[in-house]
Amino acid sequence: MASVFSGVLQLTDLDDFITPSQECVKPVKVEKKQGRSVAKIQIEDDGSYIQVNQDGEKQKLERAKITLNDCLACSGCITSAESVLITQQSHEELFKVLRNNTNEKEQKIVVVSLSPQSRASLAAHYGLSSSETGRRLTTFLKSLGVHHVFDTNFSRTFSLLESQKEFLDRFQRKEQDHKALPMLTSACPGWICYAEKTHGEFILPYISSTRSPQQMMGSLVKCYFAEQQGLSPQQIYHVTVMPCFDKKLEASRSDFYLTNNETREVDCVITSGEVLKMLEEENVSLTDVTPMPLDTLFSNVSGNEYLSHAGSSSGGYLHHVFINAAKQLFGEEIKELTYKTLRNKDFQEITLERDGVVVLSFAAAYGFRNIQNLVQKLKRGKSPYHFVEVMACPSGCINGGGQVKPSLGENPKELLHKVDELYKADLPAVPEEDTHVAELYETWLQSVGSDRAKELLHTQYHTVEKMTNGLVMKW
Ligand code: SF4
């Protein structure tokens, strides 16, 4: 029988993100010796940098640009990448692609995949329901020249099903492979970057190889959809709308580059906040947009309403893997999960007991303090868990750094609560009951063979060597 604990995910320390490395921290005031004179660098209200020499002469400095590759090569920060000037993936870039996409012969098919967390964030901003926001965003994006608007809840169904299978496999080989468990989730690129750079070889075997919903959608759009449409993958420009900047880093990983076709599975990632900027730059308020029917090809919808997954608003991995494992391994049908809150609300656990013995022990660890504690426990051989849903952001993906910021005077915790409620208002979907996904497993994935199917649904991680410049923070 499942142990039942009280407690739901609550909002705690909203700022427990990874701290940016020294290289990426903006200087507030820098004094620089120029020969004998001293020059000061000051930041203007518009964010520009001005060098002021001793006799008061001012000179505007060029902004240093950090590309995604620089960012990936750095051994310091990754998450909370607001301070990183990302040039390849931005709403300006998307506007550019859409405006230049008029030549019929060279026209790209533009696909946008919306995350449910971004829909909820924009819904809270405009006072709409999450589904209504999706319908209106579909109208807005199509008015700009987007051809299809999909939903990453659909690709998340693949991620959840693969995670369930992977957990069963790891559980069954836990006696032979001492790093089979705990299985640590992999959908959060902030956590993955941290793991690769700070705990490399030790931690990577524990991390689930299952692709995140964004990269599952990458496979679906650039491989399956392209083939169905008689297109090559480069003829599709695939954009995702995500709650954080870290997803840009995920999309730019070399593992998700289709070398033969010289294209990425996801070409551009924009955040919820950037979608808001696009609306504002086009002088459009979503409240004035006429909603249109949702694209159903790769969307989790029932009629005109989106379906989402039960469990956390970071994807519900713990929820779905726990329920499946309890049933498959111990014949227990679990209808509802409630969690025991440990040292803080961002660290929760749940267990399944049989005859007073814990047979399954799962946890959710959000925010870097909890992640660091988890890693330390693992290193000391003191982790009691079989599975951990790991997310870099405190409170998870609804609190991602790319979500719409609170309006002037708006309380951030209240906004977060509102976004959470809107996210959870979507009707729940059960991954195992999704007939469209089951059909794709049978047709598409069986036809490509098991090795190729594995590539399309899974990925791998790599130890990243630390830079030794003396400035990198010790984690
Ligand atoms: Fe992005 Fe979610 Fe990870 Fe935050 S927890 S960095 S929003 S994937």
pLDDT in tens, 317-352: 999 999 999 999 999 999 888 888 887 889 999 999
Q: Does residue 269 have its Cβ closer than 6 Å to ligand 1? A: no
Element holding 278 (H helix, E strand): helix 272-281
> What is the distance between the alpha carbons of residues 3 and 356, in angstroms, rounded to a whole number?
10
Average of per-residue pLDDT values in the chain: 85
pLDDT at 103: 85
Question: How far does the centroid of ligand 1 lie from the alpha carbon of residue 391, in Å?
Answer: 6
> Which distant-in-sequence residues (6+ apart) come within 8 Å of 111 by Cβ?
146, 147, 148, 149, 150, 221, 225, 236, 237, 238, 239
Question: How far does the centroid of ligand 1 lie from the alpha carbon of residue 472, in Å?
Answer: 22
- Under DSSP, the state recorded for 20 is P
pLDDT at 13: 54
Q: Does residue 250 have its Cβ closer than 6 Å to ligand 1? A: no
- Under DSSP, the state recorded for 433 is G
> What is the distance between the alpha carbons of residues 350 and 341, in angstroms, rounded to a whole number?
9
Query: How many other CB atoms are found less than 10 A from the CB of residue 332?
Result: 17
> What is the distance between the alpha carbons of residues 308 and 46, in angstroms, rounded to a whole number?
40
Q: Whose CA is nearest to atom 3 of ligand 1?
A: 188
Contact 17, 369 (CB under 8 A): no
Token pair recorded at residue 193: 């970057």
pLDDT at 15: 55
pLDDT at 82: 37
**In 5-151, alpha helices (H):** 68-73, 91-99, 116-126, 130-143
With bands split at pLDDT 50, 70 and 90, how would you rate the model's confidence at 464? Answer: confident
Contact 261, 234 (CB under 8 A): yes
pLDDT at 134: 96
Residue 262 pLDDT > 50:
yes
List C-alpha distances in Å: 107 to 237, 257, 321: 10, 21, 42
- Under DSSP, the state recorded for 210 is B
Q: Does residue 246 have its Cβ closer than 6 Å to ligand 1? A: yes
Number of the ligand 1 atom closest to the C-alpha atom of 398: 7
- Integer-rounded Cα Rg, in Å, for the chain is 23
* Sheet (strand 58-61) strand order: 30-34, 37-43, 49-52, 58-61
pLDDT at 78: 44
pLDDT at 208: 98
Q: Does residue 311 have its Cβ closer than 6 Å to ligand 1? A: no
Q: Does residue 426 have its Cβ closer than 6 Å to ligand 1? A: no
Which range (24-33, 124-133, 142-151, 173-182) has the least confidence? 24-33
Residue 111 pLDDT > 80:
yes
Q: Does residue 79 have its Cβ closer than 6 Å to ligand 1? A: yes
**Portion of the chain with pLDDT greater than 90, in percent:** 69
Which range (53-62, 181-190, 331-340, 374-383) has the least confidence? 53-62
Query: How many other CB atoms are found less than 10 A from the CB of residue 376?
Result: 11
Token pair recorded at residue 237: 């420009």
Number of the ligand 1 atom closest to the C-alpha atom of 366: 5
Q: Does residue 213 have its Cβ closer than 6 Å to ligand 1? A: no
- Under DSSP, the state recorded for 220 is I
Which of 337, 343, 377, 378 has the alpha carbon at shortest distance from 360? Answer: 337
Q: Does residue 397 have its Cβ closer than 6 Å to ligand 1? A: yes
Q: Does residue 396 have its Cβ closer than 6 Å to ligand 1? A: yes
Output the DSSP codes for 322-389: HHHHHHHHH---------EE-SSTTEEEEEEEETTEEEEEEEEEESHHHHHHHHHHHHTT----SEEE
Question: How far does the centroid of ligand 1 lie from the alpha carbon of residue 288, in Å?
Answer: 30
pLDDT at 40: 62
